[in-house]
Amino acid sequence: MTDHHTPDRADVVVVGAGMAGLTCANVLLGRGADVLVLEARDHVGGRTRTVEAGGESVDLGGQFIGPGQDRAYALAAELGIEVFATYNAGDHLMETAAGRVRPWRGTVPRLSVPETLDLAQAMARFERLARTIDPSSPWTGSGAAGLDGQTLGGWLRRTLWTTGGRELFTAASRLLWACEPGELSLLHALFYARAAGGLRAVMATEGGAQQDRLDGGAGEMARRLAARLGDRVRLATPVRAITRDASHVVVTTGSGRSVRAGQVVVAIPPTLAGRIHYDPPLPAARDRLTQRLPMGGAIKCVLVYGGPFWRAAGFSGQALSLRGPVDGVADSSPRSGGRGVLVAVMHRPAPQEAVLNQLTRLFGAEAARPLAAVRHDWSADPFSRGGYAALFPPYTWTRYGPAVREPVGRIHWAGSETATRWYGYIDGAIRSGEAAAEAVL
Ligand SMILES: Cc1cc2nc3c(=O)[nH]c(=O)nc-3n(C[C@H](O)[C@H](O)[C@H](O)COP(=O)(O)OP(=O)(O)OC[C@H]3O[C@@H](n4cnc5c(N)ncnc54)[C@H](O)[C@@H]3O)c2cc1C
């Protein structure tokens, strides 16, 4: 249902029908609250988005879940969505900066002995530092200021002494955060890994964050959650302004309609939350925080083929590239077999021809001829403005960290960026929605 029918009162208004907002609204509904979800787009799911291409359901946004993401698995089970393993057999491929393609297996590509040792010592140091971070308050801790005053890129330059080791860590960083490592605070990178249980947990397929997929696509979770809420979800209803006083909030939509509520949960990326007009204005710390949180630059290209031809050639479909433009590739074929689907991710725009050329370098000539191709540049999407998630540059966690979750009067913040476990993931979004509902009740 759209803005036209929006009621003018609710106990709680939830801004945004992504996984965080929908989870929050469902918990509130279950506890008897009169809840209303206002969603800017004409569909639910936010950064999870399943569309049809070449006769298959394909994910343009979040899609993988893995061990430790207990809330995502629990929600999938509750909603009757089956989980299946990401295809992980055969050789993965690594493309060097010079364009040479090498096979590898496991979590980390094979390098020369000095490069392998170098990478191992850097990863061990990273993991050690990450263990010093408290994911519920990364700004605390004696070393936090020093870690937050440098970029991940600077740390990589100082910590790795081989070109190969440094290039590989850099390529993995681009794939993990959809940005250059120089754009990120080291503290943020450490926090991110810590909130997920470690660097290996975020990098790995088997035993890591890419282990499993959701049958029918990740968008199915949002669709089923929204179905439970019925007409309590209003689509095509962007929130433009939030006014508050001691007893209530008034949430105003793009068409000028107003909803009066006891509380509001803003479940959208922080940079977009900063574009809403607040009266009275938000505290300085909250505004300075939202001024500083750009989103990653994720662009996803999904290629649908007659079948997963790479499997027969002994390849897993997974690739990491030091050359680009595609940073990483994964097999995203449907559980049912039949079609083969590759998903390619990059952090900077590149023409489709360059993407197909790269896939051809990796997997051979058949890769140049998909039956269907779709791509989504999340930065060009006005209701995400990037992905996978917000990136904390230096001096942001330690100066403004508490403002990421601290409510402002009757305004509460939710969304994957407020999660203390699995920040930036579907699971983190679900956890944040649950936490916001508890705070409101
Ligand atoms: C390309 C890509 C790949 C990813 N891969 C994975 C993965 O494999 N596994 C994983 O766990 N995570 C992945 N993620 C991250 C994951 O998808 C997100 O962390 C999660 O979906 C965020 O959910 P959310 O509810 O916090 O925010 P969002 O999904 O961003 O939801 C916010 C909602 O608010 C709406 N909105 C925005 N502004 C307004 C407004 N003013 N008024 C009303 N509504 C508004 C938006 O339209 C949106 O629906 C990926 C993300 C991307 C982009």
Q: How many other β-carbons are positioned within 10 Å of the β-carbon of residue 152?
A: 28
Domain limit, last residue, from 203, 233, 249: 203
pLDDT recorded at residue 6: 77
Same domain, 328 and 277: no
- Peptide linkage before 192 cis (omega within 30 of 0): no
Helix (H) or strand (E) holding 366: none
Among 142, 177, 203, the domain boundary falls at: 203
116 and 198 in a single domain? The answer is yes
| Orientation of helix 163-177 relative to helix 152-159, angle to 10° | 160
How long, in residues, is the chain? 441
Q: Residue with the nearest Cα to atom 2 of ligand 1?
A: 61
- Specify if 281 maps to a domain: yes
420, 404, 401: which is closest to 412 by C-alpha? Answer: 404
CA 353 to chain centre: 26
Domain annotation covers residue 98: no
The pLDDT tens digits of the residues spanning 201-255 come to 999 999 999 999 999 999 999 999 999 999 999 999 999 999 999 899 999 999 9
d(CA 20, CA 415): 5
180 is in an annotated binding site: no
Residues 258 and 401 in one domain: yes
Determine the residue of 268, 272, 348, 418 to mutate for testing ligand 1's pocket, defined as the one with the most ligand atoms within 8 A of the Cβ atom: 268
Question: In terms of DSSP bridges, do strands 35-38 and 9-15 run parallel, antiparallel, or are they unpaired?
Answer: parallel
Look at residues 213, 188, 182, 209 and name the one whose alpha carbon lies nearest to residue 107.
Answer: 209
C-alpha 347/C-alpha 387 separation (Å) is 9
State whether 283 and 302 are in the same domain.
Answer: no
The CATH number of residue 415's host domain is 3.50.50.60
Tens-digit pLDDT profile for residues 44-54: 999 999 999 99
How many structural domains compose the chain? 3
39 is in an annotated binding site: yes
* Predicted local confidence at residue 337, as pLDDT: 77
Is residue 291 domain-shared with residue 392, that is, in the same domain? yes
**DSSP states of 250-276:** EEEETTS-EEEEEEEEE-S-HHHHTTS
CATH number at residue 190: 1.10.405.10
The verdict on 118 and 197 lying in the same domain is yes
Residue 302 parent element (H or E): strand 299-305
Residue corresponding to tokens 């993965």? 92
List the beta bridge partners of residue 102.
94
Q: What does the pLDDT read at residue 8? A: 92
Whole-number Å distance between alpha carbons of 134 and 233: 35
Instruction: Tell me how far apart the alpha carbons of residues 189 and 169 are, in angstroms, rounded to a whole number.
Output: 12
- Ligand 1 atom showing the smallest separation from residue 276 Cα: 41
Distance CA 237, CA 257 (A): 9
Residues with CB under 6 A from ligand 1: 15-21, 38-41, 46-48, 61-65, 238-239, 267-269, 272, 276, 298, 300, 378, 383-384, 387-389, 415-416, 424-427, 429
Give the pairing of strands 315-321 and 411-413: unpaired
Which residues of the chain, if any, have pLDDT below 50? Answer: none
Hey, is 244 helix, strand or coil? strand
User: Is residue 97 one of the residues assigned to a domain?
Assistant: no
Per the structure, the complete domain to which residue 373 belongs is given by 50-67+81-89+209-214+297-380
What is the number of the ligand 1 atom nearest to the C-alpha of 296? 53
Going from the Cα of 41 to the center of ligand 1, the distance in angstroms, rounded, reads 12
The half-sphere exposure of 251 on its side-chain side, counting CA atoms within 13 A, is 30
Q: How many helices (H) and strands (E) does the chain have?
A: 15, 20
Task: Tell me the C-alpha to C-alpha distance, in Å, between residue 88 and each of 124, 133, 199, 206, 239.
Answer: 25, 31, 19, 7, 42
Residue 276 inside a domain? The answer is yes
Residues 420 and 275 in one domain: yes
Helix axes 152-159, 113-130, angle to 10 degrees: 130
> Tokens 């190969």 identify what position?
164
117 in the same domain as 199: yes
User: What are the beta bridge partners of residue 305?
Assistant: 340
In this structure, are 12 and 55 located in the same domain?
A: no
Percent helix, strand, coil in the chain, to 5, is 35, 25, 40
Atom of ligand 1 nearest to the CA of 269: 30
Q: What is the CATH number of the domain that holds 359?
A: 3.90.660.10
58 & 39 share domain:
no
Residue 234 lies in a domain: yes
Statement to judge: residues 284 and 407 lie in one domain:
yes
Q: Sign of the CA dihedral 72, 74, 76, 78?
A: negative
Q: Quick one: pLDDT at residue 141?
A: 86
- 159 and 135 within one domain: yes
H or E, element range at 181: none
In a domain, 188, yes or no: yes
| ipTM rounded to 2 decimals | 0.99
Confidence at residue 379, expressed as pLDDT on a 0 to 100 scale: 98
Residue 249 counted as domain residue: yes
| pLDDT at 157 (0 to 100) | 97
For residue 20, what are the CA distances in angstroms to 27, 48, 164, 200, 267? Answer: 11, 11, 39, 25, 6
Instruction: Judge whether 101 lies within some domain.
Output: no
Out of 348, 380, 412, a domain closes at 380
